[in-house]
Amino acid sequence: MIPDTDAQGVQTLAFKMQLKPGVVDEYRRRHDALWPELEAALRAAGIADYWIFLDEATLALFAVLKRKPGHPFEQLPELPVMRRWWDHMAPLMEVESDNRPRQWPLPALFHLA
What amino acid positions are annotated as catalytic residues?
Answer: 31
Judge contact between 20 and 109, C-beta under 8 A.
Answer: no
Q: Which of 53, 76, 57, 70 is nearest to 5 (CA)?
A: 70
Cα–Cα distance for residue pair 33/16, rounded to 1 Å: 22
> Do the Cβ atoms of 108 and 14 come closer than 8 Å?
yes
